[in-house]
């Protein structure tokens, strides 16, 4: 075999074999941050991964929609009986999702202080740093819309209805015996 035949054989095998390292739809994940709204727990939050068919359940949902807790978590860390509300999220690059923008695309928006822009101006005078919060200060920012898409990597969830077990016992922070008493 000459060099040309070897090169053709290598290119042919590369084209016939599937590309390695590409994520399939079932392998993608969301990082869910569940915020406990019970005032006795001081607003604790719990991180959790959402994968597989549960991942597909969240695609197309909007900020403000309610979701059954059975789709969050797997095995003994399943949030069965909980009702959760989507309060926000961010994409692969860390751009925040804004509830007043429709769709899941990135949009360039002129915003005042709020989600995606803090609205502060830093000025250094006489060796000190001063922070000014002017009325009407606006900036153009690229922000993601309110629909969860495949580009979304983090979802923020708020507990609306509580299930039988409290979140501390589900995540192993509290004893399950104290819950039964």
Q: Which residue has the higher pLDDT, 62 or 1?
A: 62
pLDDT at 83 over 80: yes
Domain spans, the chain: 15-99+145-175
Q: What is the pLDDT of residues 6-19, one digit of tens each?
A: 545 545 444 444 44
CB contact at 8 A, 144 and 53: no
Q: Which residue has the higher pLDDT, 136 or 62?
A: 62
Q: Which residue has the higher pLDDT, 118 or 148?
A: 148
What pLDDT does residue 156 have?
93
Q: What is the pLDDT of residues 17-72, one digit of tens each?
A: 444 434 444 468 888 888 888 777 777 888 888 888 888 888 999 999 999 888 88
Task: List the beta strands (DSSP E) in 62-163.
Answer: 66-68, 83-91, 106-111, 121-125, 128-132, 139-144, 152-161
Contacts of 157 (CB under 8 A, 6+ apart): 32, 33, 34, 35, 67, 72, 84, 85, 86, 87
What pLDDT does residue 4 have?
56
What pLDDT does residue 157 have?
92
What pLDDT does residue 120 have?
81
Q: What is the pLDDT of residues 88-121, one digit of tens each?
A: 999 989 999 999 889 989 999 888 887 877 878 8
How would residue 73 be classed by pLDDT, with cut points 50, 70 and 90?
Answer: confident
């Amino acid at each position: 075999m000459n060099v040309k035949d070897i090169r053709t054989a290598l290119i042919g095998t590369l084209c016939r074999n599937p590309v390695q390292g590409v994520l399939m739809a079932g392998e993608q994940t969301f990082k869910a941050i569940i915020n406990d709204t019970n005032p006795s727990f001081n607003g604790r939050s719990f991180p959790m991964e959402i994968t597989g068919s549960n991942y597909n359940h969240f695609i197309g949902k909007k900020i403000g929609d309610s979701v059954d807790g059975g789709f969050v978590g797997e095995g003994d860390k399943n949030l069965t009986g909980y009702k959760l509300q989507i309060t926000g999220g961010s994409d692969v690059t860390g751009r925040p999702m804004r509830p007043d923008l429709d769709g899941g695309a990135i949009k360039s928006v002129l915003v005042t202080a709020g989600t995606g822009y803090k609205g502060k101006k830093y000025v250094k005078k006489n060796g000190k740093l001063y922070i000014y919060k002017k009325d009407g200060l606006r900036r153009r920012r690229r922000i993601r819309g309110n629909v969860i898409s495949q580009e979304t990597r983090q979802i923020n969830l708020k507990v609306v209805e509580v299930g039988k077990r409290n979140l501390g016992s589900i995540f192993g922070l509290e004893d399950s015996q104290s819950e039964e008493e």
